[in-house]
Amino acid sequence: MSLVFAGVCSHAPGITGRADLADPVARDGLYDAFDWMRAELEATRPDALVVVAAEHFANFFMNNMPAFAMGMADHYQGPIEDPGWLMIDRFTAPGNRQLSERLIQEVMQTVDIAYAEEWLFDHGIAVPLHFLTPRFDLPVVPVNINCQGPPLTPLHRAWTFGEAVRRAADAVPERIALVGTGGISHWPATPDSGKINEEWDREFLDRWCRNDRDGLLGYDDLTIYADAGQGGFEIRTFLTVSAAAGGAAGTVHFYRPIPIFAVGCTIATYALE
């Protein structure tokens, strides 16, 4: 039928795993924003949720690293992390193999992607699902963009991929929701964890909300690394959603640096036509 929802959110493992160490006001503000996003998502009555993620070596490694991959299974398991560390119990999330296959075939018309009939979710998908589909009752189509193992997927290819995802969503009869997850500036999993460049984040989110293609593709990995850290490479997921939103205007519903979560926590959506 069409793309019915497009948004982005953070996925840092500390959001659930280190919740007890966070400033309660900041944490609860983020949780409220996730609740709001879930209500918005549910209001669009989606048949499936496409999650564009930046995984951290749960399924894909440098022995065979795809620039893009999409899941094509009826079930997915997670999290790969110790549940006591992530504070998310082991779960099985529903997929829809047949829908995945139709989406993949359409995306492949313009972007060479890998597909995967098995996929283990790490925090990059488990954290968003924990808040957005807590009962694991909405079929998920996982997507990965290589934001971890250089050479990384070029930014402009993430844009092209987003356009292909939109075309594919519009081509199927189901109502498709799209959520991109990643950090903006952050230095996760280093001793600098907790460092956040709020000024850089706000400029990025301004470009994202204006759906400023040239502005978003004007970033490059050298300056991202210097100004936004290696965690900033995950903006590819945000760019994919921008491209899929087809020029729609965005709104940031929540942004706040929460150092113990290691990222400027973000909830934002596009107002689709």
Partner 1 sequence: MSLYYVQKYLYQLNRDPAVQGAYRSDPVAAVTSFGRDGQVATLTDEEIVALTAPDIGLLYHLGVNGQILMHFAAFHGIEWTDYLQRMRQGLRDHGPVREGVYALTTDL
Which residues lie near partner 1 (CB under 8 A)?
A: 13-14, 18, 21, 56-59, 61-63, 80-82, 85-86, 120, 122, 148-150, 187-193, 195, 225, 229-230, 233
- β-strands 250-258, 68-71: how paired? unpaired
Provide the token pair at 169.
């969503």
Residues in the chain: 273
Q: Which is nearer to partner 1, 81 or 161 (CB)?
A: 81
Shortest distance in whole angstroms from residue 92 CB to partner 1? 15
SS3 114: strand
Q: Which is nearer to partner 1, 64 or 137 (CB)?
A: 64
Q: What is the DSSP string of 67-108?
A: SEEEE--SEEEE--S-HHHHT---EEEE--HHHHHHHHHHHT
Shortest distance in whole angstroms from residue 201 CB to partner 1? 16
Shortest distance in whole angstroms from residue 129 CB to partner 1? 18
Helix or strand (DSSP H, E) at 201: helix 198-209
Amino acid at 129: L
Q: Which is nearer to partner 1, 100 or 193 (CB)?
A: 193
Shortest distance in whole angstroms from residue 85 CB to partner 1? 4
Q: Which is nearer to partner 1, 63 or 135 (CB)?
A: 63
Q: Which is nearer to partner 1, 120 or 209 (CB)?
A: 120
SS3 268: strand
Contact 209, 249 (CB under 8 A): yes
Contact 107, 161 (CB under 8 A): yes
Shortest distance in whole angstroms from residue 6 CB to partner 1? 26
